[in-house]
Amino acid sequence: MNDDGLRLLLSRDGWALLESLPPYDEDHALGLSTALRDRGLDPALVSAAMTQSRLRARATTKFGEFARTMLFTQDGLEQATRLTVAARHAKRYADAGATHVADLGCGIGGDAMALAGMGLRVLAVEQDEATAACATLNLGALPSARVVHGDALAVDLTAEGVDAVYADPGRRDGTGRRIFDPEACSPPLGAVLALRTEIPALGVKVAPGIPHSALPADTHAQWVSAAGAVVEAGLWFGALAPEGPGRSALLVGPAGANTMTGTSAPDAPPVPAPQGPLEAYLFEPDGAVIRAGLVDQVCGEVGGHLIDSSIAYVTAPHLVTTPFATAFRVVDRLPFGLKRLRAYLRQRDVGRVTIKKRGTAVEPDVLRRQLDLRGSSETTLVLTRVAGSQTVLVVEPTA
C-alpha cells in the first residue's frame, strides 16, 4: 500500500469504509469492489480499502484476531515477526532486565507491540513514512510505545535513555524483491552490529539463509521455525544471550516451544554427522535444526545416521519420538525411474501422493502430473539420494 492509499484510509470516510467491509473473500472481492464503485465511492479509496482488507486476512496467520484492527503495507507484513515469536523476543528482553528498548526498523510494529505488551518502554523507529504511519496506529493502544519516523541509525540512543536495542533491517528493495546480502539491507548489518559497542544488549533479526561463516564470534544465533516453517534467525548479544555464544534452533508450535542448542562456536562449520545404510525409519529434521547445523544432534537423539553424507535425512532402526524431526516408517525403496515408479504405484492402487524431496532436481508437481495416478489409496514418496544414488523411498507417517 502506498502513501496516497494510506492517507485515504486514515480519513474519516476511509476508516469507516474499511471497518464496514465483510471478512475478505477472494471469490467475492471483485464483485464487492464493483458494487462499492457503483455506489459512487472514490475508486482509489475502494482500491485502498480492498487491498487493506486482503492484507488483514493474510495477516491473521501472524497476528491472529489482532490483524482485524491493524494496518499493513505489503512489505511490512512480509517482514513482520509472527506474534508468537515476537512474544518470545519480548520475554528475552524482559528476562535480561531491559526497561527501554529501541526497535530500529520497527516495520508495522509487530515486535514493538510484543515488547510494549510486556511492560517495556519502546522507541520504535521506521524510515518509510507509510510503514511508520501503520506502526503508529498499530501501537496506538500501548502508551509505553512511541513511534518515530526517521533513520534508525540517526537516533541518539544514549540521549533517549535506551538500555537495549532490537533491529530488523529491511530486506526488500522497494519492489518487493528480497535482499540476500546482509550489507545491502537497510540499515546494513555491519552498521547495526556496531551498535553493540554502545548498547551491549543487542538483538538483530536476520534472514534464515545467513551463512555460519558470517556470524560474529560473540553472538548466540538462533533459527526459529513456527508450525514447521523456518521464519527467521536472530543474533543475540550481551545480556540477551544468556546461553553464551553459539547456535540453537527454536521450534514454536501450538503445544509450546522446544529448543536444541549446539556446542560449536557460532561461526564454526556444522559437526559432521555419521552416514550409514537405510534403516526401518526415516527422520526429517526440522528446517531450523538444519539451518543451525544441528543434524548431528538429531542423529544422537534417535540413535541413527544420515542416508547420504550431503542429505539431511536421518535413518534409524527404531522409532524414537523427538520434537526436532518428523518420523516415517520406511515401507519400500526403489531406484528412481518414471516408468518403474508409475507401475509400482498403479499396482498398489495409489491415486494420491504426497511428495517430499531433498537432493534432487525433480519437481513434485511435474512428477505428480507425469504419474497420472487414478487409484483409491494414497502414500508418501521421498525423492532423495541414498549413498549417492537417486532413490525413491515409500514411507508412511508414524503419527
Contacts for 10 with CB less than 8 Å, ≥ 6 apart? 133, 137
pLDDT at 2: 66
Q: How far apart are CA 260 and CA 270, in angstroms?
A: 14
Q: What count of Cα atoms within 13 Å lies in the side-chain half-sphere of residue 80?
A: 34
In degrees to the nearest 10, what's the CA dihedral of 182, 184, 186, 187? 70
Q: Are 220 and 236 in contact (CB under 8 A)?
A: yes
Q: How far apart are CA 297 and CA 325, in angstroms?
A: 11
Q: Are 2 and 32 in contact (CB under 8 A)?
A: no
pLDDT at 171: 78
E strand or H helix that includes residue 140: none
In tens digits, the chain (399 residues) has pLDDT values of 666 788 889 899 999 999 999 999 999 999 999 999 999 999 999 999 999 999 999 999 999 999 999 999 998 999 999 999 999 999 999 999 999 999 999 999 999 999 999 999 999 999 999 999 999 999 999 999 999 999 999 999 999 999 999 999 987 776 667 877 888 788 889 999 999 999 999 999 999 999 999 999 999 999 999 988 999 999 999 999 999 999 999 999 888 899 999 999 999 999 999 999 999 999 999 999 999 999 999 999 999 999 999 999 999 999 999 999 999 999 999 999 999 999 999 999 999 999 999 999 999 999 999 999 999 999 999 999 999 999 999 999 998
Closest to 122 (Cα-Cα) out of 139, 136, 103: 103
Q: How far apart are CA 56 and CA 155, in angstroms?
A: 31
Residue where the block lists cell 497420472: 372
Q: What is the grid cell recorded at 289? A: 535444526
The strand order across the sheet containing 246-253 reads: 145-149, 121-126, 100-104, 164-167, 202-206, 229-236, 220-226, 246-253, 256-261
- For β-strands 350-357 and 202-206, DSSP reports them as unpaired
pLDDT at 236: 98
Q: Are 395 and 380 in contact (CB under 8 A)?
A: yes
DSSP state for residue 35 in the 8-state scheme: H
Q: What is the grid cell recorded at 133? A: 504511519
Q: Are 233 and 184 in contact (CB under 8 A)?
A: no
pLDDT at 1: 62
CA distances from 313 to 89, 117, 253, 327 (A): 30, 40, 22, 10
DSSP state for residue 275 in the 8-state scheme: B
Q: What is the grid cell recorded at 394? A: 515409500
E strand or H helix that includes residue 47: helix 43-63
Q: How far apart are CA 166 and CA 130, in angstroms?
A: 21
Q: How far apart are CA 236 and CA 246, in angstroms?
A: 10
| Cβ-count burial 242-278 (b if 16+ within 10 Å, e if not) | eeebbbbbbbbeeeeeeebbbebebbbebeebeeeeb
